[in-house]
Amino acid sequence: MIDYLVTILLIAGIYAIFALGLNLEWGFTGLLNFGHVGFMAVGAYTTVLLSMNNGVPLLLSVLAGMVLAGLLGAFLGIPTLKLRADYLAIVTIGFSEILRYLLLNEEWLTNGPIGLCGFPRPFQDLVPIQSYNLFFLVVVLSVLVIIYSGIELLIRSPWGRVLKSIRENEEIATSLGKHVFSYKVQSLALGSMIAALAGSLLAFYLQYINPRNFMPIETFYAWIIVVLGGSGNNKGVLLGAVLFWGFFSGSRFAQEYLPLSPTQVGSMRVMFIGLMLIILMMFRPQGILGKKEELSLER
């Protein structure tokens, strides 16, 4: 039972980091990123490939994944962030799918659909295998604390105020002497780096990665977490991650009580999440901890 709780907290922690990156982009800057998972994949694959085949130290491989994801984020942002918000959404979702197909087909590098395993994990020689998950939970939670506090500091800084002003009204931010475009690129790059970090952690946790780990639905899990907890509220993201994975994992037990096949229960869970979101949108569109006036719909 403890093991089970540890697993849920681990995955919730990793997705909380992942969703914090999205919340920086969407919740604070108003950027519509539908391809967040692509940057997670960049982080996971970069870290694994560098550390496994080339013997690059783990910390460096993680940092390399983050830098690459940050550059890719900026690269995608530069042609699209001057356009309307929906173009970024289209381009990012396209990017994440193109990337997944690359990972699937460039077998010489990624081992294609079979994926990669047997790569090193942090401190694996020092921690006994039975308690590795518990140890790794501490690692994930420490990273989460650092990312959470870092973002909280940033959004309270003058830089963060400019992001919020862009979310609320781009034209005025511009007319107050802010180079809106460059702030948006920075926000997207930073959010992507955070996604990459979550990707590296996910790889260490799963011990096995393949392109199927990075389907578009993962992006929307992050969206559900952000929307559920409350856009623009980092505490909400933490709560959203725990609730989402608590439900997602807990509902596996529903199998015992329902006269349905495992496939049907799987689909039921997803349907139930959809239903919950619809109800949430009807009665509390700002999410559990969000503020109504921060909903950036009117733009």
Partner 1 sequence: MLRVDNVVAGYTDVDILHGVSIQIDKNEIVTVIGPNGAGKSTLMKTIIGLTKFRGGEILFGGESIVGMRPDKIVRKGMGYVPQERNIFPTLTVLENLEIGVFVDRGCLDENLGEVLRIFPELRGRLHQKTGTMSGGEQKMVAVGRALITEPALLLLDEPSSALSPKLRDLLFQKIEAINETGTAITMVEQNAKKALAISDRGYILEMGKNRFEGEGKSLLEDADVRGLYLGG
Residue 191, CA atoms < 13 Å, CB-side half-sphere: 35
* Minimum CB–partner distance for residue 137 and partner 1 (Å): 35
* Minimum CB–partner distance for residue 28 and partner 1 (Å): 11
Q: Is 297 in the site for partner 1 (CB under 8 A)?
A: no
Using CA atoms, how far apart are residues 52 and 50, in angstroms rounded to an integer? 6
Using CA atoms, how far apart are residues 215 and 220, in angstroms rounded to an integer? 10
Residue 283: other Cβ atoms inside 10 A:
7
Q: What is the 3-state secondary structure (H, E, C) of 237-263?
A: HHHHHHHHHHHHHHHHHHHHHCCCCHH
Q: Strands, E, within 3-158: which ranges?
A: 116-117
Binding to partner 1, residues 222-281 (CB under 8 A)? none
- Matching residue, tokens 């490939």: 49
Instruction: Select the residue interacting with partner 1 from 1, 125, 171, 283 (CB under 8 A).
Output: 171
Q: Is 162 in the site for partner 1 (CB under 8 A)?
A: yes
* Minimum CB–partner distance for residue 154 and partner 1 (Å): 15
- Between 55 and 177, whose beta carbon lies closer to partner 1? 177
* Minimum CB–partner distance for residue 282 and partner 1 (Å): 23
* Minimum CB–partner distance for residue 169 and partner 1 (Å): 6
Using CA atoms, how far apart are residues 13 and 140, in angstroms rounded to an integer? 6
Per-residue CA distances from 92 to 38, 97, 146, 211 (Å): 8, 9, 27, 17
- DSSP structure class, residue 252: G
- Between 180 and 193, whose beta carbon lies closer to partner 1? 180
Mask for 174-193, x = binds partner 1 (CB under 8 A): xxxxxxx-------------
Coil/strand/helix, residue 209? strand
Contact between 6 and 136 under an 8 Å Cβ cutoff? The reply is no
Tokens of 84: 């309307």
Instruction: Select the residue interacting with partner 1 from 96, 110, 165, 219 (CB under 8 A).
Output: 165
Q: Which stretch binds partner 1 (CB under 8 A): 98-106, 198-206, 278-286, 288-296?
A: 288-296
* Minimum CB–partner distance for residue 238 and partner 1 (Å): 21
Selection from 231, 222, 226 nearest residue 291 by Cα: 231
Q: Which stretch binds partner 1 (CB under 8 A): 44-52, 97-105, 157-165, 252-260?
A: 157-165
- Between 179 and 212, whose beta carbon lies closer to partner 1? 179
Tokens of 102: 């690359």
- How many residues bind to partner 1 according to rule CB under 8 A? 20
- Chain residues in the site for partner 1 (CB under 8 A): 158, 161-162, 164-165, 168-169, 171-180, 291, 293-294
